[in-house]
């Protein structure tokens, strides 16, 4: 009688452990599938930068035509571009799709997001791929040896 009760108690313990193990495994699998999917479908809110003006550590002559450089604009990444026409432009560098940091592609003279092959023209307009809206453009001024970038009012 006592052996039978011990055996039943052991079976219950094993059953509870198996139920717990299978439950947590199924839960972990569910989360591992749904979390990345939800992050893809619902883009994160990109925090607004509190900075309104940044003086870059670069000198204007250090930025070659048809090139781009990432810089910090407050707490956000931004990209400075010297276009093939020798014009300096700056944009928020967080892609408007899922906030990957964009880069400048000199081979096609586009701002490009490597995450999902998003393309922006030299006015920051989304022209190809999944980005839903243009990049925020900043105002660039050159004063002597300084590049000063401002947010638009
Ligand atoms: S994050 Fe998807 S295209 Fe940039």
Same domain, residue pair 33 and 66: no
Same domain, residue pair 13 and 61: no
Position 54 pLDDT exceeds 80 = yes
Q: Is residue 47 part of a domain?
A: no
pLDDT, tens digit (0-9, with 9 covering 90-100), for 28-47: 888 888 887 777 777 666 55
Same domain, residue pair 9 and 59: no
Q: Residue 73: CB partners within 8 Å, gap ≥ 6?
A: 49, 51, 54, 90, 92, 138, 149
The residue assigned the tokens 């591992």 is: 32
Q: Residue 139: CB partners within 8 Å, gap ≥ 6?
A: 90, 149, 150, 151, 152
The pLDDT value given to residue 81: 97
Q: How far is the CA of 149 from the centre of ligand 1 (A)?
A: 24
pLDDT, tens digit (0-9, with 9 covering 90-100), for 80-124: 999 999 999 999 999 999 999 999 999 999 999 999 999 999 999
Same domain, residue pair 90 and 35: no
- Kindly report the protein residue whose alpha carbon is nearest to atom 1 of ligand 1: 98
Nearest-atom number in ligand 1 for the CA of 130 is 3
Domain count, the chain: 2
Q: Which is higher by pLDDT, 55 or 20?
A: 55
Q: Residue 81: CB partners within 8 Å, gap ≥ 6?
A: 67, 68, 88, 89, 90, 91, 104, 111, 122
The pLDDT value given to residue 130: 96
The pLDDT value given to residue 137: 97
Q: Is 68 in the pocket of ligand 1 (CB under 6 A)?
A: no
CB 70 within 8 A of CB 54: no
Q: 13: domain range?
A: 1-42
SS3 119: strand
Q: How far is the CA of 94 from the centre of ligand 1 (A)?
A: 9
Q: Is residue 48 part of a domain?
A: no
Q: Beginning with the edge strand found earlier in the chain, give each strand of the sheet holding 103-105 in spatial order.
A: 103-105, 110-113, 118-120, 126-128
* Residue to probe by mutation, ligand 1, list 43, 44, 131, most atoms within 8 Å of CB: 131
pTM comes to: 0.71
Q: Is 111 in the pocket of ligand 1 (CB under 6 A)?
A: no
Same domain, residue pair 65 and 33: no
CATH classification at residue 87: 2.102.10.10
Q: How far is the CA of 15 from the centre of ligand 1 (A)?
A: 46
The Cβ of residue 101 has, within 10 Å, a number of other Cβ atoms equal to 16
Exposure string over 29-67, b if 16+ CB within 10 A, otherwise e: eeeeeeeeeeeeeeeeeeeebeeeebebeeeeeebeeee
Q: Are strands 126-128 and 137-143 parallel, antiparallel or unpaired?
A: unpaired
């Amino acid at each position: 009688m006592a052996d039978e009760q011990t055996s039943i108690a052991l079976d219950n313990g094993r059953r509870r452990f198996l139920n717990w193990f299978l439950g947590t495994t199924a839960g972990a699998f569910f989360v591992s599938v749904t979390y990345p999917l939800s992050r893809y479908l619902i883009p994160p809110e990109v925090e607004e930068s509190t900075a309104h003006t940044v003086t870059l550590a670069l000198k204007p002559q250090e930025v070659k035509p048809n090139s781009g450089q990432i810089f910090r604009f407050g707490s956000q990444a931004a990209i400075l571009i010297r276009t093939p026409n020798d014009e300096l432009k700056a944009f928020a560098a967080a892609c408007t799709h899922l906030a990957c940091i964009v880069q400048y592609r000199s081979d096609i003279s586009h701002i490009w997001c490597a995450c999902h092959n998003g393309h922006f023209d030299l006015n920051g307009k989304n022209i190809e791929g999944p980005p839903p809206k243009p990049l925020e453009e900043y105002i660039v001024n050159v004063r002597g040896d300084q590049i000063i970038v401002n947010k638009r009012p």
